[in-house]
Amino acid sequence: MTRIDQHFDRVCRGDRRAFEAWLVDVELPLRGSLAPWARAVDVEGVMQETLLRMWLFALDRGRELEGEDASLRWAMGMARNLARNEARRFRREHLLPTDELPEPPAEPVRTPDPALRRIIRSCLERLSGSPARALQARLEDGSSLPDRTLAEALGMKVNTFRQNIVRARRQLASCLSENGAPLKEVLP
């Protein structure tokens, strides 16, 4: 039984903290499987909707799944179906992949290892001034608050706030590259 399977077994019994641990393990491979749909749908929206539906699915029929990492494979199929429906709703079907894609493999868990975490944190600590404050606000509260609210709290206009995050991300990318951060090992 894989770590994903162990988490999901507890999720099926209604354990929300186990669901959080499952999300942490499946997010990157699940997101990676949506690359072919990036032109047709809002990938972030499809991700969040898929993950919310997986919670409901787990409580209802999760125990029916069989095989190694079956919950991840099921989530990938659900995400593809959602993406297809969203593309139709947005009238962007012409941007869908033309060929029928093979089933994406359920890839092994790829999470940032401690060394990569250290490099990322070290590079973030080197940021300063407005770019650092803007990115920090996004990292801390970006999942629950809109940019306008975050910008106002920092005394910035929303466009200035975003330009500062752009600057911060560029500085961060340079620092990660200079320090040999092994991003390719964790990003599809």
Partner 1 sequence: MNERSRAALMEAVLTPYRQRDPEGRLAPPPEWWDLPPEALDELFQEGMRARLVEKAMDPQGRSGTVRAVMARLGVQGP
Query: Which residues sit at the interface with partner 1, rule CB under 8 A?
Result: 16-17, 19-21, 23-24, 27-28, 31-32, 34-35, 38-39, 42-45, 47-49, 51-52, 55, 95, 111-112, 116-117, 120-121, 124, 138-139, 142-147, 159, 162-163, 165-166, 169, 172-173, 183, 186-188
Min CB(107)–partner 1 separation in Å: 13
Query: Given the complex with partner 1, which of 35 and 101 has the nearer CB atom?
Result: 35
Min CB(20)–partner 1 separation in Å: 6
Query: Given the complex with partner 1, which of 67 and 118 has the nearer CB atom?
Result: 118
Min CB(88)–partner 1 separation in Å: 13
Query: Given the complex with partner 1, which of 49 and 107 has the nearer CB atom?
Result: 49
Q: Are 40 and 92 in contact (CB under 8 A)?
A: yes
Min CB(66)–partner 1 separation in Å: 25
Min CB(63)–partner 1 separation in Å: 20
Closest CA to 9 of 76, 78, 59: 59
Sign of CA dihedral 150, 142, 35, 96: negative
Query: Given the complex with partner 1, which of 67 and 105 has the nearer CB atom?
Result: 105
**Residue/partner pairs of 176-184 with CB below 8 Å, 24 or more apart:** 176/119, 176/120, 176/123, 179/119, 179/122, 179/123, 180/119, 181/116, 181/119, 181/120, 181/123, 182/115, 182/116, 183/116
Instruction: Tell me the CA distances in angstroms from 77 to 49, 64, 90, 103, one per residue in order.
Output: 13, 15, 20, 8
